[in-house]
Amino acid sequence: MPVIQCDIREGWSDEQKAALADGITSVVSKVGNVPVERIHVVIREGRGLHFMFGGEHVAEYEPPGDG
Amino acid sequence: MPVIQCDIREGWSDEQKAALADGITSVVSKVGNVPVERIHVVIREGRGLHFMFGGEHVAEYEPPGDG
Amino acid sequence: MPVIQCDIREGWSDEQKAALADGITSVVSKVGNVPVERIHVVIREGRGLHFMFGGEHVAEYEPPGDG
Amino acid sequence: MPVIQCDIREGWSDEQKAALADGITSVVSKVGNVPVERIHVVIREGRGLHFMFGGEHVAEYEPPGDG
Amino acid sequence: MPVIQCDIREGWSDEQKAALADGITSVVSKVGNVPVERIHVVIREGRGLHFMFGGEHVAEYEPPGDG
Amino acid sequence: MPVIQCDIREGWSDEQKAALADGITSVVSKVGNVPVERIHVVIREGRGLHFMFGGEHVAEYEPPGDG
């Protein structure tokens, strides 16, 4: 029944989000001896402006260019 | 002063969201003898990919088709 | 997969907490057509001082006296 | 290491969001004698419908008109 | 209707907690032009072990000695 | 700047909590290419009664007996 919430800056690919939830589920299950069936992970994302860390706003995500 | 937060997968209609907040407010008020005026409900929604449950990602919302 | 979090002031009885989680689970299931098996409710409690509402701290819980 | 989360209705300008995070960081640092480097602020925003307060949904944000 | 949640390490005095909630309410009200009546602040506290920051656990709170 | 919150039922040892925060920090850092210095993990714990999952309350933690 552990519930894990992740607030991240936007820009993670779908593969990264899937790996994040997978990895966290695995850690919780192994460390806490909790069946995977009982673990809930929620991911939320937001703009860089929505995160302040150490008194500075996080930079906005810049999609990789192709130039 | 209870604060209730709901993280749901996107796809609920406005009517469903309104009913969710109404229903939760009512439960909290009745069970806890708390005046409705002091109850706060926050709803957040996200893609299916943003929810992992039992080790599997929740399916993405598919709007009902009309075909 | 909905996750519902409730922050309440301490003082609710076990019966009230059980009814709170039951009632919220029921509302979420009915309104959102979500199987009960996929609903997670977390309750957290704290002192009145830990809640500020409308600019005023919530009164501390006073257990009922027997005098 | 304090973590502060803010759920607000959409409609705040970037300047307001920046001032919100700045102001909260400053309050936490001064009141708790915590170095700014250790303070994390997360802002999340949502539609008015996603907030119920006192049994009523919060009005949707209306961008200022120019008529 | 803004809801602000603060997770802090235990050890803040009641006066500090009151000042934290007061200060945050004031910032939210002024920056967002929100009536104080509609602002909710929740404080939660935990052991140092319950906070990991920068890969290191936060030290446990040590009450001031009198030696 | 990712912030990860974990709500777990009480009963985890200090070693398990440390391993939980370490493991999550590692997953977030590797998957998201985020420096460890910018990752925040918060753990909260509560009684079994404070968790409802699948319509049933989680059992209360029973410390291991020595009989």
Give me the interface pTM, i.e. the ipTM. 0.95
According to DSSP, the residues that pair with C6 across neighbouring strands are: B4, C43
**Domains defined along chain A, listed by start:** 3-46 (3.30.429.10)
Please list every residue in chain A whose beta carbon sits closer than 8 Å to the beta carbon of residue D38.
54
The DSSP bridge pattern shows strands A40-46 and A3-9 to be parallel
Chains that touch C (3 or more CB pairs under 8 A): A, B, E, F
Structure confidence at residue D18 (pLDDT): 97
Q: What is the pLDDT of residues E21-53, one digit of tens each?
A: 999 999 999 999 999 999 999 999 999 999 999
Residues pairing with A8 in the sheet: A45
Residue (of E38, C40, D51, C51) closest to F8 by Cα position: C40
- Residue A12 sits at φ, ψ, to 5 deg, of -75, 140
| Interface probe with C: pick from F52, F53, F57, most Cβ of C within 10 Å | F52
Q: Compute how many other C-beta atoms are within 10 angstroms of the C-beta atom of residue E17.
A: 22
Q: How confident is the model at residue A66 (pLDDT cuts 50, 70, 90)?
A: low
SS3 call for F56: strand
Query: How many angstroms separate the CA atoms of B26 and D38, rounded?
Result: 39
pLDDT tens for each residue of F24-42: 999 999 999 999 999 999 9
What are the chain A neighbours of B52 within 8 Å (beta carbons)? 21-22, 24-25, 39-41
Kindly report, residue by residue over A19-40, the tens digit of the pLDDT: 999 999 999 999 999 999 999 9
CA distance A9 to F2: 7
D25 neighbors D15 (Cβ within 8 angstroms): no
Q: Which amino acid is at F6?
A: C
> Do F3 and E7 contact (CB within 8 A), yes or no?
no
Q: Which residues of C38-66 are buried (b: 16+ CB within 10 A; e: fewer)?
A: bbbbbbbbbbbbbbbbebebbeeeeeeee
